[in-house]
Amino acid sequence: MTLESPALPQSRHLATAIPGPRSTELHREREAHVSSGFGVTIPVFVNRAEGGILEDVDGNRLVDLASGIAVTSVGAANKHVQAQVAAQMERFTHTCFMVTEYDSFTKVAAWLNARVPGDFEKRTALFSTGAEAVENAIKIARSATGRERVLVFDDAYHGRSLLTMAMTAKENPYKLNFGPFPGGVFRAPTAGRLWNRRGDTDAAVTALRGVEALLQDHGPETFAAMVIEPIQGEGGFLVPAPGFLSGLREIADRHGIVLVIDEIQAGMGRTGKLFASEYEAVAGDLTLTAKALGGGLPLSAVTGRAELMNAVHTGGLGGTYAGNPVACAAALGVFEAFEDGTLLANALQIEAAARAVLEPLLAEVDTVVDVRGRGAMLAVEFADPETFAPRADVAAAVAAACHAQGVLVLVCGTHGNVIRLLPPLVIGADLLRDGLAVLRAAIVSATNPGTGVEPHTAVATDPDGALAAAH
């Protein structure tokens, strides 16, 4: 887990309070010009980013346990991505693939066709955002099946466009006041929560019965697609119960429904395998990638059965920026970065290091009810230990304490009660240990106010010795 000669020191450093004065000033300016419809996790303005560090405009170095929401898995300044993008920028920035062609689009498609799960002939279509990939998967499934309806699941997140808002489960902030939404979207239960919280081994069977019942109520022959995340991301890093995804595969096959696996957050190496669905040995008919695929540039893909992908009339798929050449170049850099297997191994090392720190909290802190996830996609859930009533207040307090200490964590979960960890796969072992120690102390002190933050956590890994007075 080492980074080759990083230019940015790979240690946490607090030069000012977080946010610092320069960030605060820039945030005030932002408020004067930017729609307040955008929220922000921490109002810190970034100057540089590399490895596991975000350096802000006040000279603070934050530990990045977010990767810009699972995007910069290969690092925010990856040498392969930089070289590919720079070379492409020299040649041209854009032609529009629907107007004149370029080979990097084909190369990205070929790489995905060869590696996306499924032992069948595949084709790929490239777009820009995750939501666009989801929308296009539905277009393709409808066109191929001649059916309209779409089945999605509790706790699902698929995007912020009109159709994908309808597919997303959580109302606030994603859907509030934005309806009406496109019809034909039905929501079924998953086994996620029961399995993750209680280890209920019948969870998959029960949930699959619910899926089948819903389909029977509405007529399975009216459903074009069912769409599932192999680990539900925004919904709370819910790992599927054993047998749930393979059960969906069986139901989809039996009713001729296109199974769409949304790997946008969990895919592209995040979990220690290129695709999270590999853990379940399930192949979608269509598989969606985005986020880490473009290494920070906007790129998304629908990859799947050739007969489905080619069922759409020619000209039916596209978009001005779909598979933009600079974004395709970035993806080729991402593929190079994954080539030797180190990053996948890193994801598993990150999981081992994080579990070693976080799992003991299950016994030590009563509101910590679950530590879960796969590879570098891990979460801690806070709830009442008796009733499982979500404790969003604890998650918010833990996140705030981490942020104040210069560790960037994100909250997720349909009920906002989950802290998630999505470090870049290139984060160094010492830096990760430091970030986890801060998180651990924040969890302990949020639950037992007065315990305080363990003071040694930062000192050990800040060779500059320039810690803020707050320590």
- Whether residue 36 contacts residue 48, with contact meaning beta carbons closer than 8 Å, is answered with no
> Is the distance from CB of 438 to CB of 354 less than 8 angstroms?
no
Nearer to ligand PLZ, 69 or 392 (CB): 69
Q: Which is nearer to ligand PLZ, 377 or 458 (CB)?
A: 377
Least Å distance, CB 296 to ligand PLZ, is: 12
Cβ closest to ligand PLZ, residue 3 vs residue 259: 259
Give the pair of three-digit tokens for residue 150. 């779409």
Closest approach of ligand PLZ to the CB of residue 262, in Å: 5
301/441 with CB nearer ligand PLZ: 301
> Which residue type is seen at 72?
T
| Shortest distance (Å) from residue 160 CB to ligand PLZ | 5
Instruction: Find, among 304, 355, 421, 439, the residue nearest to 12 by Cα.
Output: 439
The distance of closest approach from Cβ of residue 39 to ligand PLZ in the complex, given in angstroms and rounded to an integer, is: 8
Nearer to ligand PLZ, 391 or 420 (CB): 420
Burial of 295 (0-12, 13-18, 19+ CB in 10 A): buried
Question: Contact, 9 vs 464, CB < 8 A?
Answer: yes
**Nearer residue to ligand PLZ within complex by CB, 36 or 100:** 36
Query: What sign has the CA pseudo-torsion 197, 423, 131, 97?
Result: negative
CA nearest to 105, candidates 292, 312, 294, 371: 294
| Of 379, 397, 372, nearest in space to 448 by CA | 397
Facing residues of 378 across strands?
373, 421
Q: Which residues are near ligand PLZ by CB under 6 A? A: 69, 129-131, 134, 157-160, 229, 233-234, 262, 264-265, 290
* Least spacing, CB of residue 72 vs ligand PLZ, in Å: 13
Write the CA distances from 399 to 225, 396, 438, integer angstroms: 37, 5, 10
Q: Provide the token pair at 261.
A: 């696996």
CB 51 within 8 A of CB 75: yes
Q: How far is the CB of 390 from ligand PLZ (least distance, A)?
A: 19
- Least separation in angstroms between CB 235 and ligand PLZ: 9
Q: Are 78 and 334 in contact (CB under 8 A)?
A: yes
Convert 316-331 to b/e letters by CB count within 10 Å (16 or more is b): ebbbebbbbbbbbbbb
Instruction: Specify the residue, 234 or 370, whose C-beta has the smaller distance to ligand PLZ.
Output: 234
Q: Which segments within 313-433 are labelled E, that is strand?
A: 368-374, 377-382, 407-408, 410-412, 418-421
CB of 109 to ligand PLZ, least distance (A): 19
Of 264 and 446, nearer to ligand PLZ (C-beta) is 264
Q: Which C-beta is closer to ligand PLZ: that of 149 or that of 158?
A: 158
**CA–CA distance, 76 with 330 (Å, rounded to integer):** 11
Report the nearest approach of ligand PLZ to the CB of residue 123 (Å): 21
Question: Other CB atoms closer than 10 Å to residue 467's CB: what's the count?
Answer: 16
Query: Alpha carbon of 231 to those of 125, 129, 131, 205, 235: distances in Å?
Result: 23, 19, 17, 18, 9
Nearer to ligand PLZ, 134 or 379 (CB): 134
Distances (CA, A) of 174 to 37, 41, 98, 162: 11, 15, 32, 10
CB of 285 to ligand PLZ, least distance (A): 17
Pick the closer one to ligand PLZ by CB: 157 or 223: 157
Min CB(229)–ligand PLZ separation in Å: 5
Residue nearest ligand PLZ (C-beta atom): 130
14 or 112: whose CB is closer to ligand PLZ? 112
Number of alpha helices (DSSP H) and beta strands (DSSP E) in the chain = 16, 15
State the DSSP string of 253-267.
HHHTPEEEEE-TTTT
- Shortest distance, CB of residue 146 to ligand PLZ, whole angstroms? 26
